A and B are shown apart, each in its own frame.
Chain A
């Protein structure tokens, strides 16, 4: 039993961590937390099921299409909900504009795809076993994304430009970096990561429109606890969250597990609003 708790806990934790990374990649480029992070995860599952199970596409084609739609949705988010409000003096409009976009997408999915959970296809024709693909796929996706991001940020020029934008937008612009294009690229990248999270976790979470608000919340927990923009923090906090949730699930039952996760989240945040790994930010007057 311990084994299955750990397996499912780590797997689901990897999905949360990936959604957390999705938040972070968008946040680094724009200082905006977008409500669409969970929506991307939901889309990954629903579209994967649509393309592969319903339309009968080969797995690879379906996978590439899912990533492409995720990237497109990321760009749309940037153009429709982020760029127009970044210029505004009102600081918090992005909360509303991204919420509106997330709700529209979620509602559209509910109407077109249906409100019940549908199964997600098995991607590899392997027998079910202890260390099943539904567990190792999210883990593999998480490792691939983290390693990929590290390589991108540390080794490539584009990645360094991303970091420069995240560090100081004005200075980066003054250096002649194409800030707007880099921001769009970041949102496209975030879109792919979010869609990948939902795709890799499809068998666990199923293709269900209600995954959007669920992932928006549980994916934000690692960001809040791990510190904004801190991917490693998000992975550690995401894994802890997944393990804690699964353990509580087995020990005390699903409802109280949710209550417990929520209570811990609120208490930690109240004690350390900057997150467990984040540094306090001085307020400017």
Chain B
């Protein structure tokens, strides 16, 4: 017996109460750590104070690096270079080697700024290079910075080193300095947790796991990564200043690659896309070697073993082990029951960004489009018009150029001839994320979602461009951030209700069935309130019943004013809902017309539909 998911939906009041409970539940481990951290001087003494301070300093760096590695998925394995930079900048400025002596706070602030700039320089190659290349370049930076510190004797003291800064009272005692570092660590936790729960954090995970979909949602990878590198570089450099003060004297030897490995592995052991996991990972890796003196020499070896075990056995890390709620089994008799009647409500929601170009759009027109790959003509002189409030079907045998057509519209390939025009204006070539601002949304042949994020978070990614707050406002949890979040969440829940999946909103996306993922993608696309919606084989892998419901949903989306382009293989779906059908064969238009005309077209029947 199938049960519509909407029936599972709890009452509104319960949902609100549930949300509060969930937030408290998520904050509880952090509050516990806060209490332990504040009370730590009561039970730990002497040496353990140094270890605790070190854990705080490391976390200040790791918290920022976590956004780069854990959220954006960039494998920055040489981040120790920024610790080195911050340590030397703070120490040299505070000691007055080159300038008049600066107060330690000012020196620390200067280090933060230098760190931001260098974080950007080290990060920039990530915008152009592949994973391994980027990992290698950060490794190169780590080696270079240490060598420069060794060679630039007049400033850094070379191999002899420089004294670290001493912070003025009350932070000059062991516990005073501990509380200073602890406070900074707590602030970093709070700030990065704010980012993690914002549209920026979700956009970063989208870049990590579904880059193509991120672009289709209007997420500009360069701008976002630049912001993250600036922030991450700044906090890493601050950590360097604290590290120098903790060490009281620094030489280039202190900044080994082992440290870099510790930072990097702490994040992976903790789990990507989590704040709590890497925090626990940092504490674990800092404390672990202290339990047994013989382990100190073996610590990096052990970290490496841990890394291998994590990669091979538990890729989700600590965060996955702690994720109890996603282990509850899901109902196995779920059915997707879309509610097209809710579309009007969804499309009338307003955004603050003023990017509502779709309200009165004309047609999206493909004019004499042509594109070859080597000698293969993928598209050869294609004319096609997608009108608002109509469903246009694009069919044809495999390899006839259907998906390629979608990819040209989305900006992945520049057409060699012809143009894609919206209201008579050609779309910018290769500026893929601009499509979302023009309210052109799309889905993919294989659903591209962030598996580790919840269903509702995945849908919220679709509305990333509709936020008003900036990265800094989210970092500091200012009112506009809360406004954005509340609105995005409400809209996403509405979009999920439209496709009939709101009951699965809190579930990790990688636990869903294939057909459900297809509807999640549609919900994500609807977040743009699209003027045009491009669907790449939305019915593939769906049951007959689901295809019927999909058809009704797409027809309703068109009635709401959206121009829909469907690339499909199921003739029934196409002939049921399309106003206009184009048949491609070998990149050329074989036939175009109303479904009735196509069904009667001799060549189409022979070549494709089968007589």
Any chain A CB within 8 A of the CB of B36?
Answer: no
Kindly identify, within residues 232 to 285 of chain A, every residue whose CB is under 8 Å from any CB belonging to chain B.
253-256, 258-259, 262, 265-266, 269-270, 273, 282-283, 285
Kindly specify which of B144-152, B489-497, B540-548, B563-571 makes contact with the partner chain: B144-152
List of B residues within 8 angstroms of A95 by Cβ: 75, 131-132, 135
Complexed CA–CA distance, A282 and B150 (Å): 43
Any chain A CB within 8 A of the CB of B345?
Answer: no
- The answer to whether residues A104 and B151 also contact, given A33-B132, A270-B128, A273-B130 and a CB cut-off of 8 A, is no
A111 touches B301 (CB 8 A): yes
List of B residues within 8 angstroms of A103 by Cβ: 261, 300-301, 303-304, 307
Across the interface, name the chain B residue whose C-beta is closest to A33: B132
List of A residues within 8 angstroms of B75 by Cβ: 92, 95-96
Number of B residues with CB within 8 Å of any CB on chain A: 45
B249 CB to closest chain A CB, in angstroms?
21
Any chain A CB within 8 A of the CB of B125?
Answer: yes
Complexed CA–CA distance, A217 and B135 (Å): 10
B301 touches A108 (CB 8 A): yes
List of A residues within 8 angstroms of B132 by Cβ: 33, 92, 95
Any chain B CB within 8 A of the CB of A70?
Answer: no
Choose one: A92, A96, A217; the contact of B139 (CB below 8 Å).
A217
List of A residues within 8 angstroms of B403 by Cβ: 285
A269 touches B125 (CB 8 A): yes
B315 touches A255 (CB 8 A): no
Kindly identify, within residues 163 to 194 of chain B, every residue whose CB is under 8 Å from any CB belonging to chain A.
none
- The answer to whether residues A100 and B307 also contact, given A92-B75, A262-B140 and a CB cut-off of 8 A, is yes
Number of A residues with CB within 8 Å of any CB on chain B: 42
A255 touches B151 (CB 8 A): yes
A230 CB to closest chain B CB, in angstroms?
15
B305 touches A216 (CB 8 A): no
B140 touches A217 (CB 8 A): yes
Complexed CA–CA distance, A100 and B312 (Å): 11
Any chain A CB within 8 A of the CB of B106?
Answer: no
A104 touches B305 (CB 8 A): yes
Kindly specify which of A40-48, A80-88, A134-142 makes contact with the partner chain: A80-88
Choose one: A216, A253, A282, A283; the contact of B373 (CB below 8 Å).
A282
Any chain B CB within 8 A of the CB of A90?
Answer: yes
Q: Mark A69-98, 1 if CB is under 8 A from B, else 0.
A: 000000000001100110010111101110
B73 CB to closest chain A CB, in angstroms?
8
B150 touches A255 (CB 8 A): yes
Complexed CA–CA distance, A77 and B23 (Å): 44
B128 touches A273 (CB 8 A): yes
A66 CB to closest chain B CB, in angstroms?
23
Any chain B CB within 8 A of the CB of A224?
Answer: yes
Any chain B CB within 8 A of the CB of A6?
Answer: no
A36 CB to closest chain B CB, in angstroms?
12
Complexed CA–CA distance, A177 and B168 (Å): 71
Q: Mark A133-167, 1 if CB is under 8 A from B, else 0.
A: 00000000000000000000000000000000000
Complexed CA–CA distance, A101 and B312 (Å): 12
List of A residues within 8 angstroms of B140 by Cβ: 217, 262, 265-266
List of B residues within 8 angstroms of A85 by Cβ: 311-312
List of A residues within 8 angstroms of B73 by Cβ: 92
A171 CB to closest chain B CB, in angstroms?
18
- The answer to whether residues A104 and B308 also contact, given A95-B135, A270-B125 and a CB cut-off of 8 A, is yes
Q: Mark B72-88, 1 if CB is under 8 A from A, else 0.
A: 01010100000000000
Across the interface, name the chain B residue whose C-beta is closest to A275: B133
Complexed CA–CA distance, A199 and B135 (Å): 27
Choose one: B125, B147, B261, B312; the contact of A258 (CB below 8 Å).
B147
Any chain A CB within 8 A of the CB of B298?
Answer: yes
Choose one: B128, B150, B298, B312; the contact of A111 (CB below 8 Å).
B298
B129 touches A273 (CB 8 A): yes
Any chain B CB within 8 A of the CB of A213?
Answer: yes
A101 touches B308 (CB 8 A): yes
Any chain B CB within 8 A of the CB of A68?
Answer: no
List of B residues within 8 angstroms of A282 by Cβ: 373
B71 CB to closest chain A CB, in angstroms?
15
Across the interface, name the chain B residue whose C-beta is closest to A214: B143
List of A residues within 8 angstroms of B139 by Cβ: 213, 216-217
List of A residues within 8 angstroms of B444 by Cβ: 285
Any chain A CB within 8 A of the CB of B297?
Answer: yes
6 A-B residue pairings within 8 Å (CB atoms):
A96-B311, A100-B305, A111-B301, A255-B148, A269-B133, A273-B133
Beyond the given pairs A258-B147, A283-B412, 5 more chain A to chain B contacts, judged by CB atoms under 8 angstroms and listed by A's residue number, are: A90-B315, A95-B131, A101-B304, A101-B308, A270-B125
Interface residues of A (CB under 8 A from B): 33, 80-81, 84-85, 88, 90-93, 95-97, 99-101, 103-104, 107-108, 111, 213-214, 216-217, 220, 224, 253-256, 258-259, 262, 265-266, 269-270, 273, 282-283, 285
Closest 5 CB pairs of A and B: A103-B304, A255-B151, A100-B308, A107-B301, A100-B307
